[in-house]
A and B are shown apart, each in its own frame.
Chain A
């Protein structure tokens, strides 16, 4: 059963009441959230997605926002994000943790199928062994749940382990298998393998900044992988720890990221804060019904994006593109001469 089924009108009709109810539920159970809503004068009814009050995602780095009692917290997720910043803290109870795992699986199943596939990881095993797990390591570890016979493309020294890859492809290369890696790692290492990856399904994430610096966009990325490795099933995704379990997945034709049925995006004009028309870039607001244990159901990210189309692609709903990160605000203050800016 696919989670990419609802067209935009249906999605809005289903999500708005659920998210409005979540807003009031978090208002009742999370005191800092209630204080924010009171201070900005946010009151129901919320009739459209647009009307729902949003939180800046960075608040999860600066404040403890939790809608369940401490003793019900089953897992605290942290992500380092940009260097020098506090990590985000996301509090999951059993129910929310189960829902995020279940819905992530349901989302990936759309492109991976029912059964666990043999998995090639475009990284080194050491990234998942580091006791202070990096965001990259956590991403790899999380993704490993969806594969079997995990084989790492790089050895412990970060060099291509040609023997391991060769062995993997001998065992599994003639039937469908999963490849996972961060976008720039995939670009760096996968093309050089000289292997036939035509049966592979590539899932990748982690942003385009380093590739954009080399003037490589998504179209070029896909074209070169197809030409050099025969890899045509390629799915980028966009997601964040503050909305764990919700990923926006690239459709089969590479024409944008799609929203699963329990989520959506709103592109907001950062000047008027109204919804930007399709084709006009703005800040990405992500909504999801999964965050039930913390008020992360309507979040304004610091990423810029643009809606490319609605109900006109391989899957229904909005299809959008992430354009990159908004730079941090810098002040011309008297502070921190050599410490920070000097």
Chain B
């Protein structure tokens, strides 16, 4: 794989290729002081190499169209490889990614883009995904590539084993792909101290996609974009669950078990720190129902957690004590109950004090609401996903309209909190990754 593109890499590596390769990291670190020149990035895809950022930008050429067949074939092949049993067993989260990349899903996304205008790619997209959720970068990159963009994705040098597996699988899938895929797509790594790289990539792109916390967004905004370009940002968000107590109490045991399983998937998968993982559970109904439903729910969740063998390490156990005792000290938590280290439940003194910050894996705040309409007074702009159980569609749609001002971008059943969708954080990603050309004759 590494030498198939000799024409591309040869030009850059011929001069001082060896010293570059050796000095890559330190050069990248020192990049801040250099005005863009010479800062080296480590390319991870389509092949491994080290090149100065300017060379990288020169390499990312080629034209694609919205829904380009060659990209679709590549993504579908990549998705198929992710679903291989050996890989899916080792990294189960890759299964849902593979599912997202099925040919039928890709076709549906493209069909949804039809309209009266001519849709064209935006151009060069610079992606900055979070370092610690290994799969997120693939979703936004894949949608962007599907929309015909050239992409440069910055993968953290400290990304984990899952990211490694993804990059390897991408490289494998590339062997079957049209060369245009390798020409137009780049995944790179560089130290964040290498400000020259961020500067150069920002100055060259048509859209910059920043996933991560508020701090990252603020930090990245220091690097200017070209006048026509803009940022698509995904700052800190928090999420909650709403369960109708009566519905829970009336549900057959098998249903309660599967909802509890779904809830555990929503929360424990990324240590409850994914922006869409619920942190607070609002119980809707009469007090006596809510108390009974909550107790039964906690029992079920506890059993699932035990059966799955989810545990937390000592550091996380201490973290949960610090955060929940802190809530108690502030008068926010009325009671704090631990079921081993893996599950902690906090009863809030008042529903409007629901904490938005991360409290440690498997830490749930609970509060009661008389009706779902009371959420209108509680939600904030940073509230993203509402997972629900026991509500009908008309009721949810009415609620969505009622909450419209402040927040909540997604309402999905318990168990679907982490399922990625092309509409995320209230943003239609394929639409953002394209531009509309008005044609009137």
What residues of chain A have their CB less than 8 Å away from a CB belonging to chain B?
32-33, 35-36, 38-41, 55-56, 58-59, 62-63, 65, 270-271, 283, 300, 302, 326-342
Q: Contact partner of B319 among A32, A300, A329, A337, CB < 8 A?
A: A329
Residue B49 interfacial (CB < 8 Å) = no
Given contacts A334-B273, A337-B216, A339-B215, contact A59 B322 (CB under 8 A): yes
Q: Contact partner of B316 among A32, A63, A329, A333, CB < 8 A?
A: A329
Contact in complex: B132, A35 (CB < 8 Å)? no
Residue of A40, A327, A342 contacting most chain B CB atoms (<10 Å): A342
What residues of chain B have their CB less than 8 Å away from a CB belonging to chain A?
128-133, 136, 156-158, 192, 210-216, 219-220, 234, 236-237, 270-275, 313-319, 321-322, 324-326, 328-331, 333-336, 341, 358, 360-361
Name A55's closest neighbour in chain B (CB-CB).
B325
Contact in complex: B129, A337 (CB < 8 Å)? yes
A42 to chain B, nearest CB (A): 11
**Measured between alpha carbons, how far is A36 from B346 in the docked complex, in Å?**
12
Contact in complex: A333, B336 (CB < 8 Å)? no
**Measured between alpha carbons, how far is A19 from B129 in the docked complex, in Å?**
50
**Measured between alpha carbons, how far is A182 from B360 in the docked complex, in Å?**
34
Name B189's closest neighbour in chain A (CB-CB).
A342
Contact in complex: A338, B325 (CB < 8 Å)? no
Contacts of B130 in A (CB 8 A): 333-337, 341
Given contacts A39-B336, A333-B132, contact A341 B156 (CB under 8 A): yes
**Measured between alpha carbons, how far is A330 from B272 in the docked complex, in Å?**
11
Contact in complex: B325, A36 (CB < 8 Å)? yes
**Measured between alpha carbons, how far is A302 from B319 in the docked complex, in Å?**
10
Contacts of A338 in B (CB 8 A): 128, 131, 156, 192, 212, 216, 219-220
Given contacts A33-B329, A35-B329, A342-B131, contact A333 B360 (CB under 8 A): no
**Measured between alpha carbons, how far is A178 from B361 in the docked complex, in Å?**
48
Contact in complex: B361, A331 (CB < 8 Å)? yes
Contacts of A65 in B (CB 8 A): 329
Contacts of A331 in B (CB 8 A): 132, 270-273, 358, 360-361
**Measured between alpha carbons, how far is A40 from B324 in the docked complex, in Å?**
10
Residue of A38, A65, A333 contacting most chain B CB atoms (<10 Å): A333
Contacts of A271 in B (CB 8 A): 314, 317, 341
29 A-B contacts (beta carbon < 8 Å): A35-B329, A36-B328, A39-B334, A40-B335, A56-B318, A63-B329, A65-B329, A271-B314, A283-B314, A302-B318, A326-B315, A327-B315, A328-B319, A331-B272, A331-B360, A332-B133, A333-B273, A334-B133, A334-B270, A334-B274, A335-B275, A335-B358, A337-B132, A337-B210, A338-B156, A339-B213, A340-B213, A340-B215, A341-B158
**Measured between alpha carbons, how far is A35 from B219 in the docked complex, in Å?**
38
Contacts of B272 in A (CB 8 A): 331
Contacts of B271 in A (CB 8 A): 331-333
Q: Contact partner of A336 among B216, B314, B321, B333, CB < 8 A?
A: B216
